[in-house]
Structure 1
């Protein structure tokens, strides 16, 4: 947080004085080792009690020939700086300094206290005996002020006895140092300079041992929908001074969908609640995105990205849509980043109040999907596929998933370049599916690169002898996918079924010809009966090897004699009535090593 205070009086232009002094010294033939006792400016000469913030000291030639400067803050705007860095005095505080260049340095403010004014003294180093190099003048003295504290949470539902809300205030340094008692008030007015409970709600404060946080249990009497200034003091007397201040809003929780999206935005989010959180005169809500905490009033500052093109749209009192601004982006080396989404009653800076609790929104680089190989595989899954594209996350533990028509891939691995994603298919009903990859940037579906699940099956056992009787027909167990929709129609020892699903033992002629239009005498040698679908991925049936089908039209063909010894394939037909007409490939199971069945002579 940047602090400043008004400066008055005429400023001495020190650069000219330094240059003139140096010129005189050179003319006298005695160039000094350092430009000692330079008066320097501070870019910010007021800040929070307890310090922890950084200020910049500057003057022409301030740190010429100085490599590792040191600094002290001494009480009193005109107090003489200690002669050396190691010289101690009452109220003298050491500070860390980082040289930027010969003219400027960054100083981390030490644990300064309210009620004191400090001269900042610069030294040529931090070793014993390091002498002074420069100092601030009286008008450049550093003055601690009440901290603008960070309150967590800064927005919540009203507290109740059953559901208390704990509020923690913190600042950049030990802003509660030297304070034995800390009090607080909640007020809709500006925080008074000294403690006053008039027109305010009081609260008990507990500070931590490091003097960096103050914790309050939110009062249960605060008004829902209101925004309060929370003011912290060093006691409850009317002379107790303001130590810090922040804001707290009592607003409802809302939800965000989706919670993830691509860097550079332009996608649309929906914000909604179970309450009418926009019913109180809200017609044109404002929304900003920020990596900081949501301010309690709308802000146009550079740290906040407003949704303005188009403006957020109020759908009803419980719901609004917002287009993510193009300025919601990743840093140059970031794989992902989290933003806060802040909703206001309008978009007037400093006036429009927060009307909902802050939301978390995560962005990542948008992925592309260009191809998948192979482009088809068995419906029961188990096939390794490689998806090619860009911006697949490579970090350890990064969120990435992929699916084919909603069936998730397993064992996902991404190459180091983020250009290929390898995974194993899971079961899916036969048919063409869409390839989708999901990351923190959202889900990218590649409509032009489909993957086809084919009707592959696995049979167990995969061999049986020629049966001596109908009672010796073997039961078989079939694994695949999409079985839930099958309507079995075969019965033992009767003509082949003409409708519904069927399981056949077929020879090679079954797979000859046009795959989309099966010949009616397609090489069926036997059928399964007592088909029982166990799950979508498995069924059992009894293979009627004793009553084999004839070689004529399989529709309505009566059983003839036992199936000859040989190697065959188990095939599933979704609907026998479609055999012989134009049907999709997925109406039939595919030949595979797992579907081979041998009728043996033993």
Structure 2
């Protein structure tokens, strides 16, 4: 007499299907010493019941006017606990794989990022990986992990859109570097790097539309200014010109 699923939340509420023979007229389904909270879909070969709350491993038995069946094991599983996301942000387009650490993750069946969900790959009871689904809009969303023991929350993931660069001010400075430059655009709050002609520049985020940076040394001539965040990069071609010092 198999049952499916054979595990569920300690809080109860798992819909369990029991298959066998001579099940017509079922009067009771018990999970250990507790009766099921409801019994439906009774046929000669199948009974559907909802598990009560419980812990550990219990025997599920079906009672009919003809007697009580042998018990089949049912495993109660606690709700998952998530301790960390190894990657907390990524592109709005999704498609990147992240790792979730915690406990009770062995039976994970889905991970939701806001309104969208994905099927994870279970590495162990303490870890799973999942490919992030496409986001609805840029910003933070709650991350939920669903297992046989239930659903838990408590972590946040931030969808990031590709940056754009609108202006670079001033547009020129000495080859020795050290020029303070303001970059304006969009989606700049999660900037990871700024480069002038491929050379990395120190920067600070003022807000989602403004960056403050200082030019590194560079060769004379126009160079590209590139702003990068977890979603991608935008290039302002030839936006800054290095000017050589005069010689006598």
* TM-score relative to the length of structure 1: 0.24
Deviations 1:238-268 (A, max 9, x none): xxxxxxxxxxxxxxxxxxxxx8972444337
Give distance in 2, aligned partners of 1:435 and 1:403. 6
Q: C-alpha deviations, 1:417-472, integer Å up to 9, x for none? A: x1011223232121211212233x165131x2111112236xxxxxxxxxxxxxxx
1:405 match: 114
Which residue in the other structure is 1:306 paired with? 35
- Residue 430 of structure 1 aligns with which residue? 138
Q: What is the distance in 1 between the residues matched to 2:19 and 2:36?
A: 15
Question: Does the 8 A contact of 1:368 with 1:444 survive in 2?
Answer: no
- How far did 1:400 drift? 2.9
SS at match of 2:156: strand
Contact 2:10-2:149 at 8 Å conserved across structures: no
Is this contact kept in 2: 1:265–1:329, CA < 8 A?
A: no
What residue number does 1:505 align with? Answer: 166
1:266 maps to what in 2?
A: 12
The 3-state SS of whatever aligns with 1:415 is strand
Alpha-carbon spacing, 1:453–1:593, altered in 2? closer, same or farther (3 Å): closer
Cα gap change, 1:408/1:364 in structure 2, threshold over 3 Å: closer, same or farther? farther
Aligned to 1:444: 151
CA deviation profile, 1:560-586 (whole Å, cap 9, x unmatched)? xxxx9332347xxxxxxxxxxxxxxxx
Contact between 1:289 and 1:305, CA under 8 Å: does it hold in 2? Answer: no
**CA separation of 1:426 and 1:301: change in aligned 2, threshold 3 A:** closer
Q: Any unmatched runs of 5+ in structure 1?
A: 1-149, 151-258, 270-287, 314-321, 332-336, 352-361, 458-502, 524-563, 571-589
Aligned equivalents of 1:599, 1:302: Cα separation in 2 = 69
Q: Which blocks of at least 5 consecutive residues in structure 2 are unaligned?
A: 40-48, 67-73, 169-180, 189-203, 213-220, 240-248
Distance 1:374 1:405 in 2: 16
Q: Which residue of 1 aligns with 2:71?
A: none
Match of 1:419 in 2: 126
User: Is residue 89 of structure 2 the alignment partner of residue 376 of structure 1?
Assistant: yes
Quick one: structure 1 residues 290 and 598, their matched pair in 2 at CA, closer, same or farther if it must change by over 3 Å? closer
Change (3 A) 1:403 1:595: same
Q: Residue deviations 1:472-511, cap 9 Å, x none?
A: xxxxxxxxxxxxxxxxxxxxxxxxxxxxxxx643446235
CA gap of 1:592–1:264, structure 2 versus 1, over 3 A, is closer
Match for residue 25 of structure 2?
296
Distance 1:444 1:327 in 2: 17
Which protein shows a greater Rg?
A: 1
Larger proportion of strand = 2
- Contact 1:569 1:591 (8 Å CA) reproduced: no
In 2, are the aligned partners of 1:374 and 1:386 still within 8 Å (CA)? yes
User: What SS is found at the alignment partner of 1:453?
Assistant: strand
Q: How far, CA to CA, are the matches of 1:427 and 1:302 in structure 2?
A: 41
Counterpart pick for 1:566 among 203, 223, 248: 223
1:353-368 alignment to 2 at 5 Å? 365-366=77-78, 367-368=80-81
| Residues in 1 aligned to 2:33 and 2:26: alpha-carbon distance in whole angstroms | 12
| Alpha-carbon distance in 1 for matches of 2:146, 2:31 | 31
Provide the C-alpha distance between the structure 1 equivalents of 2:140 and 2:55, rounded to a whole number of angstroms: 36
SS in 2 for 1:456: coil
Counterpart position of 2:232: 594
TM-score by length of 2: 0.50
How many aligned positions are there? 178
Matches within 5 A, 1:469-548: 504-507=165-168, 509=182, 510=184, 512-515=204-207, 518=209
**Within 2, Cα distance between the matches of 1:305 and 1:327?**
8
- Shift in Å, 1:387: 0.8
8 Å contact 1:373–1:387 — kept in the other structure? Answer: yes
Asked whether the 8 Å contact 1:370–1:388 carries over to 2, the reply is yes
Summarize the Cα distance change of 1:301–1:435 in structure 2 as closer, same or farther, 3 Å threshold: closer
| RMSD, aligned α-carbons | 4.7
